[in-house]
């Protein structure tokens, strides 16, 4: 615990939904729900307008639609969210070299290390200036918590939501925390909260009154000791500038269970390629390939294979994932697939340890005594994604709600919805007035997918405030 509230926690308000509202003028002030749009989609975040209807993150999208039937349900646009996050994180690094990002929209900052705050008034001034600068640069709002520890700064930012700032003066922690729910403390989820409730403990003050020995008896030594310290407001964790990634992974939940083994293999190969793209973007390679399979009955299986050297070769990852899949029973159907890489390193082993099976096949093909029956050749082609010789029908163009498009005549816009061979587009862009809506055939040659347009900051600067 510090003697001054010089640890800052920033949490952007309803980040994904707020970015969508800022980039789509017709949605400002309206209910926006971001997440998967299929039958098994889950809400990633909801605007405050949608939250009034009871919509919240991790809720099934189908339930969110029932609660908020007039809400705009949109797919996430992570490339745009990352761009906006980069702007926000750059502003934080102007305050201090010690910035600890927790996600795209959340971070701790050590203001003392940056020399911008050493007491309550200077910390508050830095926090207010940060909020104004974020508004000016992005048009978005963020909530700021200031305290003498990371835990309390995070509690403060949550209490300050939305678009506020709360400073907890050292010495007032226990008084502030006492009436709060035990769920306020980090690590106290629904299960632990219910366990404590059955013991008659519902507030942070109840935790302090129960005492460390009683909490150890209820939830175990490791958790009980930590819980008691948090209830007292004690937290000595420093702000750490670099948080090393432990793994890189991607996964997809399917609208309808997959039963076709060939389709399942194809999806695994596609996920492996996406995983490697993220791996390379992070500047890492990895040694252990992990396959995740959630079956029709919600049982989840994970399989892993460790290579003899780190790799960022997509062929190596694809083939390792395919080998792992061979050991998984998919009878009955698959609802989710995921591919990940762990054991990360910042270099790649440039040798034959992680040689891909594809390279081995090319070498063996030069040997005249290697032959395959026609049936085996067809199976190999399917296994490794090689063309079968028969042309495939062109896939129907799909337009997900919220995705960016550009029309040869009308310019930039976004998809409001599609169906029955038609797609409806609203033509507007960040900083414009709400735009007009037009409908096209889904195969209109003048309509093309597009990259998101940059977000334009519209708020006042710190000086204007």
Assess whether pLDDT exceeds 50 at residue 393.
no
Q: What pLDDT score was predicted for residue 1?
A: 81
CA–CA distances in Å: residue 203 to residues 11, 181, 200, 321, 362: 24, 4, 9, 47, 66
- CA gap 377, 373 in Å, rounded: 6
254 and 271 Cβ atoms separated by less than 8 Å: no
The crossing angle, in degrees rounded to 10, of helices 314-326 and 261-281 is: 140
- For the CA atoms of 301, 305, 311, 316, what is the dihedral angle to 10 degrees? -80
Q: What pLDDT score was predicted for residue 281?
A: 82
Assess whether pLDDT exceeds 60 at residue 217.
yes
pLDDT per residue as tens digits for the range 408-423: 999 999 999 999 999 9
- CA gap 453, 41 in Å, rounded: 25
CA–CA distances in Å: residue 311 to residues 268, 316, 341, 344: 18, 7, 9, 9
Spot the catalytic one: 49, 106, 267, 319.
Answer: 106
Topology at the third CATH level for domain 1-169: Alpha-Beta Plaits (3.30.70)
The predicted model gives 198-210 an average pLDDT of 95
344 and 227 Cβ atoms separated by less than 8 Å: no
Q: What pLDDT score was predicted for residue 158?
A: 94
Domain 247-383 has CATH 3.30.1490.100: yes
Assess whether pLDDT exceeds 80 at residue 113.
yes
pTM for the model stands at 0.75
Average pLDDT taken over every residue of the chain: 86
pLDDT per residue as tens digits for the range 277-303: 988 887 888 999 999 999 988 888 999
The predicted model gives 322-329 an average pLDDT of 93
- CA gap 387, 123 in Å, rounded: 62
Phi-psi region of 314 (alpha: psi -120 to 50; beta: other; left: phi over 0): alpha
Q: What pLDDT score was predicted for residue 261?
A: 94
Encoded tokens for 155:
């509690």
- CA gap 296, 40 in Å, rounded: 12
> What pLDDT band is residue 336 in, cutting at 50, 70 and 90?
very high
pLDDT per residue as tens digits for the range 340-370: 999 888 654 443 344 444 444 333 333 333 3
Assess whether pLDDT exceeds 60 at residue 198.
yes
Are the folds of 1-169 and 175-231 the same? no
Q: What pLDDT score was predicted for residue 347?
A: 54
Domain 175-231 has CATH 1.10.150.20: yes
> Which residue do the tokens 């997809």 mark?
252
Instruction: Provide CB contacts within 8 A for 436, sequence distance 6+.
Output: 426, 427
Point out the least confidently predicted range of 165-169, 287-291, 370-374.
370-374
Which one, of 399, 388, 389, 401, lies nearest residue 37 by Cα?
401
The verdict on whether omega for the bond into residue 162 sits within 30 degrees of 0, i.e. cis, is yes
Assess whether pLDDT exceeds 50 at residue 426.
yes
Instruction: Provide CB contacts within 8 A for 292, sequence distance 6+.
Output: 249, 251, 300, 301, 302, 336, 337, 338, 339, 340
Q: What pLDDT score was predicted for residue 215?
A: 93
Domain positions in the chain: 1-169, 175-231, 247-383
446 in catalytic set: no
- Number of Cβ within 10 Å of residue 391's Cβ equals 7
Encoded tokens for 236:
């000595």
Q: What pLDDT score was predicted for residue 221?
A: 86
Instruction: Provide CB contacts within 8 A for 213, sequence distance 6+.
Output: none
- CA gap 146, 127 in Å, rounded: 8
Q: What pLDDT score was predicted for residue 219?
A: 87
The predicted model gives 360-384 an average pLDDT of 34
Specify the 3-state DSSP secondary structure of 403.
coil
> What pLDDT band is residue 243 in, cutting at 50, 70 and 90?
low
pLDDT per residue as tens digits for the range 115-151: 999 999 999 999 999 999 999 999 999 999 999 999 9
Q: pLDDT above 70 covers what percent of the chain? A: 86
Q: What pLDDT score was predicted for residue 314?
A: 92
Point out the least confidently predicted range of 91-100, 226-235, 450-459.
450-459
Instruction: Provide CB contacts within 8 A for 166, sequence distance 6+.
Output: 144, 145, 146, 156, 157, 159, 160
Assess whether pLDDT exceeds 90 at residue 92.
yes
CA–CA distances in Å: residue 415 to residues 193, 294, 357, 424, 426: 42, 31, 42, 6, 6
- Distance from the first to the final alpha carbon of the chain: 32
The predicted model gives 433-444 an average pLDDT of 95
- CA gap 272, 213 in Å, rounded: 48
Of 29-33, 41-45, 195-199, which has the strongest mean pLDDT? Answer: 29-33
* H or E element in which residue 44 lies: strand 43-46
More confident residue, 25 or 247: 25
- CA gap 432, 110 in Å, rounded: 37
Q: What pLDDT score was predicted for residue 142?
A: 97
Of 84-93, 213-222, 235-244, which has the strongest mean pLDDT? Answer: 84-93
Phi-psi region of 457 (alpha: psi -120 to 50; beta: other; left: phi over 0): beta
- CA gap 139, 124 in Å, rounded: 21
Q: What pLDDT score was predicted for residue 191?
A: 82
């Amino acid at each position: 615990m510090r003697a001054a509230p010089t640890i800052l926690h920033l949490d952007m308000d309803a980040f994904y939904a707020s970015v969508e509202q800022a980039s789509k003028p017709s949605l400002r002030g309206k209910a926006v729900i971001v997440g998967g749009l299929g039958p098994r989609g889950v809400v990633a975040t909801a605007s405050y307008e949608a939250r009034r209807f009871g919509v919240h993150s991790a809720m099934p999208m189908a339930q969110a639609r029932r609660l908020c039937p007039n809400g705009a349900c949109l797919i996430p646009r992570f490339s745009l969210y990352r761009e906006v996050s980069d702007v926000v994180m750059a502003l934080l690094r102007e305050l201090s070299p010690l910035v600890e990002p927790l996600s795209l929209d959340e971070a701790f900052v050590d203001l003392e290390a940056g020399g911008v705050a050493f007491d309550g008034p200077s910390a508050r001034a830095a926090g207010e200036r940060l909020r104004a600068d974020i508004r000016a640069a992005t048009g978005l709002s963020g909530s700021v918590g200031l305290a003498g520890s990371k835990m309390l700064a995070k509690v403060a930012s949550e209490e300050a939501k939305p678009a506020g700032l709360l400073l907890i003066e050292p010495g007032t922690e226990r008084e502030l925390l006492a009436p709060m729910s035990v769920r306020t403390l980090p690590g106290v989820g629904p299960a632990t909260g219910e366990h404590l409730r059955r013991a008659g403990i519902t507030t942070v003050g109840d935790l302090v009154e129960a005492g460390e020995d009683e909490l150890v008896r209820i939830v175990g030594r490791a958790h009980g000791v930590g819980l008691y310290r948090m209830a007292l407001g004690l937290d000595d964790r420093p702000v750490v500038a670099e948080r090393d990634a432990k793994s890189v992974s991607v996964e997809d939940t399917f609208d309808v269970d997959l039963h076709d083994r060939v389709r399942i293999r194809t999806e695994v190969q596609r996920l492996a390629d996406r995983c490697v793209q993220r791996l390379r973007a992070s500047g890492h390679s990895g040694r252990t390939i992990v396959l995740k399979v959630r079956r029709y009955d919600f049982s989840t299986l994970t399989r892993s294979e460790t290579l003899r050297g780190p790799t960022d070769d997509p062929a190596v990852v694809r083939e390792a994932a395919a080998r792992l899949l061979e050991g998984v029973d998919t009878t009955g159907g698959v609802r989710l697939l995921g591919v990940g890489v762990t054991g990360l390193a910042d270099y790649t082993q440039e040798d034959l340890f992680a040689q891909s099976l594809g390279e081995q096949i090319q070498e063996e093909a030069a040997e005249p005594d290697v032959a395959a029956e026609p049936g085996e050749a067809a199976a190999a082609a399917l296994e490794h994604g090689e063309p079968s010789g028969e042309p495939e029908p062109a896939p129907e163009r799909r337009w997900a709600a919220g995705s960016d498009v550009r029309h040869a005549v009308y310019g930039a816009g976004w998809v409001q919805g599609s169906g029955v061979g038609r797609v409806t587009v609203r033509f507007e862009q960040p900083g414009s007035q709400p735009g007009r809506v037009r409908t096209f055939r889904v195969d209109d040659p003048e309509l093309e997918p597009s990259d998101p347009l940059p977000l334009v900051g519209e708020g006042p600067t710190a000086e204007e405030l």
